[in-house]
Amino acid sequence: MTRRSLNFQSKALLSILFSTTILGALIYFADIGNVYNTVKNGDLSLLTLALLVSNLPVLIYAFTWKEVFEISGIELSYINSLRVVFANIFVNNVTPFGNIGGEAAVTYIISNTTDYSPGKIFSSILMSSIINFAPLGSILILGLLLTGQYTILISLTIFLSIIVILRKHLIRKKNLPNFFNRIPQRVLKFFKDFMGASSNLLEHKLKLIFLLGITHFAIIFDVISIVIIAEAYGGDIFSPLILLVVPLSRVANYFPTPGGSGSYEAMMIGLLTIIMNLEPIVAISTVITYRAVTYYIGLLLGYIALNSIGLDDEFLNEHRKQEKAIK
């Protein structure tokens, strides 16, 4: 076992300890006995269904990654795509940067074991992440429409429009080339590779739109799994309001703790109890169960995937041999 592998293993243990402590504290303050009885009396068939449904999004994310890599000319089988997605989830869950960080790790893995440039790889990963993240915005907008929150929706539209205008203004700045001249060559090469690959990706708009449509099923499965878990504990949250709860909770997932632990749970519990009038015990039971079947399973499968790839071992070895043979 390499030093890096041991390092990630220790981080995984610390992450599990941290997350378990947070969940334990939530259960303790809510009354251990009541939470225990609620979970114990939950409908096992519904909970089993939720376990399956809540992890279907990962299969969709892997498909997105594979297709985006393919557009960029990076050969990646679906199985290997699934492995790197789980590795990405694992790194996100063990680093104290919220739900970010795994993209850089996956870029490192692939660039170190193939001849593809890091800029090109990162461009594909970033595009995949944007496509997989975008449906959260869609359901938030839909939730605002269905619940009549038109003022918030208009304010959000104005804010995003200002961001787009400012972005275009900054890009047209005359001093931008001078800024690039001060960048080290290695960083500049990465940036040029990244921009070139990004431009290539944007030329395949129909394919990207198709993938964006597919990833909306992932967020639908995510929402359905939460509804099913609440139903298993006697709670009814089948309402347009859940379309607000899920994306707003996901924002808290980017708080600088391992995997967003603590902030994510607190946000979702608060929204379920305040917005959806769910009983606190049922809300806590729902959230800790949802996190258990997603966060902990993601950690376990991600750790296995990361070690099966191996940060210092060969990955996509056959493809690398083919590239060298061509050269």
For 259-300, give the DSSP string: GGTTHHHHHHHHHHHHTS---HHHHHHHHHHHHIIIIIHHHH
Model pLDDT, residue 164: 66
What tokens appear for 187 in the block? 């960083």
Distance of CA 266 to the CA centre of its chain: 18
Q: How confident is the model at residue 294 (pLDDT cuts 50, 70, 90)?
A: confident
Model pLDDT, residue 23: 64
Does the structure show a pLDDT above 70 at 176? Answer: no
Phi, psi of 42, deg, nearest 5: -65, 150
pTM, to two decimals:
0.76
Summarize pLDDT for 143-168 with one digit per residue, the tens. Answer: 999 888 878 788 878 877 776 676 55
Residue 199 or 289, more confident: 289
Q: Taking the alpha carbons of 285, 143, 207, 205 in that order, is the dihedral positive or negative? A: negative
139, 219 contact by CB (below 8 A):
yes
What tokens appear for 134 in the block? 């975008």
Does the structure show a pLDDT above 60 at 205? Answer: yes
68, 131 contact by CB (below 8 A):
yes
Does the structure show a pLDDT above 50 at 111? Answer: yes
Average pLDDT for residues 105-128, to the nearest whole number?
79
Instruction: Give CA–CA dist 26/14, Å, rounded.
Output: 18
Average pLDDT for residues 184-198, to the nearest whole number?
61
- Residue 96: which of 299, 258, 254 has the closest Cα? 258
Phi, psi of 316, deg, nearest 5: 55, 40
Model pLDDT, residue 52: 93
Does the structure show a pLDDT above 50 at 276? Answer: yes
Model pLDDT, residue 92: 77
Q: How confident is the model at residue 4 (pLDDT cuts 50, 70, 90)?
A: low
Three-class DSSP category at 6: helix
Given the structure tokens 């379309």, which residue do they identify? 243
Model pLDDT, residue 121: 84
Does the structure show a pLDDT above 50 at 21? Answer: yes
